[in-house]
Amino acid sequence: MGGGNGFAAGKIHYPADTAQGKFGAIAIVPGYTATWAAEGVWMGPWLASFGFVVIGIDTLSRTDYDTARGTQLLAAWTT
């Protein structure tokens, strides 16, 4: 998913077999100064392999503090 709606960018990972029904979802924002591209490259597919839909975002700035990161994660979740 693209940015511009309160966060920089995002990516969604989901289980390979979607015929299994409903799945739980996890929304993830990377750690301070990290990017989803670095953390999500392994984390997204790994969590999806356990049956989760994983929504990961990049923040507007890599140095955004916790409150800004939470606001951006909520913006991605509701987009």
Q: Can you give the residue ranges of every domain in the chain?
A: 9-78
Please tell me which residue, 66 or 2, carries the higher pLDDT value. 66
Q: Mean pLDDT, to the nearest integer, of 43-62? A: 93
Single pTM value for the model = 0.80
pLDDT band at 40 (very low <50, low <70, confident <90, very high): confident
User: Which residues, 6 or more positions from 60, have their beta carbon under 8 angstroms from its beta carbon?
Assistant: 3, 7, 8, 68, 72
Is a pLDDT exceeding 90 seen at residue 13?
A: yes
